[in-house]
Amino acid sequence: MKKLCFFLLAMCLIGMACKENKTKSEVQPPLKKSNETELPLEKDSETEQSQEQNNEAEQSFESGETIEKTGERRSAVECKKTFKISENEFISMQVLPKKISINSQAYLTMENHSKGDMFYSNPFSLEYFNESDWVVIQWDAVSLDVGFVLSAGETITLEPMNLYPLIENYNEGKKGRYRIIKRLGNYNLCDEFEIE
Domains of the chain: 44-195 (2.60.40)
| DSSP per position, 103-132 | T--BEEEEEEESSS-EEEES--EEEEE-SS
* Pick from 155, 158, 178, 164: nearest CA to 98: 178
Amino acid in the structure at residue 157: T
| Verdict on whether the full-model pTM lies above 0.75 | no
Count Cβ neighbours within 10 Å for each residue of 89-99 and write b for 16 or more, e otherwise: bebbbbbeeee
C-alpha to C-alpha distance for 52 and 46, rounded to whole angstroms? 10
Residues in the chain: 196
Phi-psi group of 24: left, alpha or beta (phi > 0 → left; psi -120 to 50 → alpha; rest → beta): alpha
How far is the C-alpha of 86 from the C-alpha of 42, rounded, in Å? 6
pLDDT per residue as tens, the chain (196 positions): 444 444 444 444 444 344 333 333 343 434 433 333 333 334 344 445 444 544 444 433 343 555 444 556 777 788 999 999 999 999 999 999 999 988 889 999 999 999 999 999 888 899 999 988 999 998 776 666 789 999 999 999 999 999 988 899 999 999 999 999 999 999 999 999 999 8
Please give the helix or strand (H or E) that residue 176 lies within, else none. strand 176-184
Alpha helices in the chain (DSSP H): 2-17, 45-60, 163-170
Query: Is 99 in contact with 116 (CB distance < 8 Å)?
Result: no
Tell me the Cα Rg of the chain. Answer: 17
